[in-house]
Structure 1
Amino acid sequence: MRAGDPTGWFERLYTEAERGEADVPWDRGSPHGLLVEWATARELTGAGRRALVVGCGYGRDAEYLARLGFTTTAFDISPTAVRVARERHPDSPVDYRVADLLDPPAAWRRGFDLVLESMNVQALPPEVRVAAFGAVGEPVAPGGTLLVIAAGRDEAEAPPAAPPWPLTRTEIDSFAGDGLAPVDVEALRDASAVLRWRAEFHRPA
């Protein structure tokens, strides 16, 4: 970050993990539980619809959405993460791409019925995070949905010195904009009282 490259550490982490020198802390074998719970409650089906997964990592959430029937595109800023995702899922229908959230392909604008942002924006420093709030919603099509999953903290709680920086309710509300409106913002606490946000936004048709 001091070098002016606030997202470069993602590629470094994935490269070191491939060499066995580091662990990717969010590398789990199953999709995020808050995503699965949300989709199950709505009996979500993706037939005939497109989904975009922001910061897909190794593809656990993207593969889940593809199994629900979505035509799924998933991207990450780390070329190593994207390559490993393709290797892990050789027969996958997911279109894995290397892309930057802050400079996405123009063709993605308003192009997806569901956009999933799970635990990525919280890893960005404040000066980048502000731009990311708006960028996340840009691909949501008219009539589409943005689902945000993030670690949370109370407004009065000081942010940690290093990433990830859990998001406040004010920051979660910042995803609404440019036509996106909040549908449901859930403050969820686990057995250890750790706060998680699950927030749904909608763009009118």
Structure 2
Amino acid sequence: MSTQPRGWQQEADRLANVSIERGDPTGWFEQLYAAGESGEVTMAWDRSQAQPLLAQWTRAADLDGTGHRAVVVGCGLGADAEHLATLGFTTTAFDLSPTAIRTASSRNPDSTVDYRVANLFGLPEEWRSSFDLVVETYTVQALPRDLRERAVSAVSELVAPGGTLVAIQAVRTSDDDGSGPPWPLTRDEIASFARWGLREIALEEHRDADGSARWRAEFTR
């Protein structure tokens, strides 16, 4: 008799805590995706459509990416990257997890997206200030808070002169006990992208259907 895979969120908590305790705060991402691939748990962050706040933003802007470059930070299984590619962007998408990148590529065999295995804290120098649109969804909040400033800086450095960053993160509530993942952001923390050569255009708090709150922030260089 087959058994159903366990939910990935609980496994994420366990793997993250073990990984952080041994001094490897990002090693759990690959372990979690690999567990999803094997069927041990459900696949993490598994969605076929772009994050709703990102899709809403691109529709409102009537965005045409033709002739422009975009990058998706911590792209996971590729839904946001594929969305940007349909808008005409020459799209790069990277993730720390080889399993995530392999899965994204296999799910989208005819994709124009350039999927890469890459570490946010060691990106190719040629990517610096090179993208007209940078999308960062949930990556910063998935990292322990002592890495936050470093992560925000690394994301910001991808934005080209005149380019745009869209960042979507969970809102930190007053009852947050500091445990994670995720580690949601305060308003000051989501606004801190502006400390790295960017200018804040918009910063909004949105409520999901289940009542959970998300930041969507837009910055330009």
TM-score greater than 0.5 by the shorter chain? yes
2:199 aligned with 1:165, yes or no? no
Structure 2 equivalent of residue 127 of structure 1: 146
Describe the superposition over 1:26-48 as per-residue Cα deviations: whole angstroms up to 9, x where unpaired.
21111111011000001001000
TM-score using structure 2 length: 0.88
Find the counterpart in structure 2 of residue 73 from structure 1. 92
1:31 and 1:85 map into 2 onto residues whose CA distance is 13
Q: SS at the partner of 1:143?
A: strand
1:78-97 correspondence to structure 2 within 5 Å:
78-97=97-116
Of 139, 142, 149, 2:161 maps to 142
Output the amino acid matched with 1:189.
Answer: R
Q: What is the CA-CA distance between 1:10 and the residue it aligns to?
A: 0.4
Q: The residue matched to 2:65 in structure 1 has which SS?
A: coil
Letter in 1 for 2:150: A
Q: Which residue of 2 aligns with 1:27?
A: 46
Cα deviations by residue, 1:133-190 (Å, 9 ceiling, x for unpaired):
1111101000000000111124x44344121011110110111123201000001123
Task: Give unmatched runs, 5+ long, in structure 1.
Answer: none
Work out whether residues 33 and 44 of structure 2, in 8 Å CA contact, stay in contact via their aligned partners in 1: no
- 1:177 is the counterpart of 2:195: yes
Where do 4+ consecutive residues of structure 1 move more than 6 Å? none
Could you give the per-residue CA deviations for residues 90-134 of structure 1, whole angstroms, max 9, x where no partner exists?
111100000011111100001000000001110100111220011
Selected match of 1:18 from 37, 48, 60? 37
SS in structure 2 opposite 1:162? Answer: coil
**Aligned residues of 1:117 and 1:148 also touching (Cα < 8 A):** yes
Once residues 94 and 38 of structure 2 are traced to their aligned partners in structure 1, the CA distance between those partners, rounded to angstroms, is 22
TM-score (norm 1): 0.95
2:81 is the alignment partner of 1:37:
no
Letter in 2 for 1:188: H
**Residue 193 of structure 1: how far off its partner (Å):** 2.9
Q: Partners in 2 of 1:95 and 1:159 — Cα distance?
A: 38
Taking only aligned residues, the RMSD between alpha carbons, in angstroms, comes to 1.1
**Mapped contact 2:131–2:163 kept (Cα < 8 A):** yes
Query: Deviation string for 1:77-98 (max 9, x for gaps)?
Result: 0011111111111111100000
What is the aligned partner in structure 1 of residue 67 from structure 2? 48
- 3-state DSSP of counterpart to 2:211: coil
TM superposition shift of 1:25: 3.7
Normalized per residue, the structure richer in helix is 2
Please say if residues 159 and 165 of structure 1, whose CA atoms lie closer than 8 Å, have aligned partners that are also in contact.
Answer: no
**Identical residues among aligned pairs (%):** 57
Q: Note closer, same or farther for the CA distance 1:86–1:191 as it changes in structure 2 (3 Å cut).
A: closer
Unaligned runs of 5+ in 2: 1-19
What count of residue pairs does the alignment treat as equivalent?
Answer: 202
2:9 corresponds to: none
Amino acid across the alignment from 1:105:
P
User: What is the CA-CA distance between 1:49 and the residue it aligns to?
Assistant: 0.1
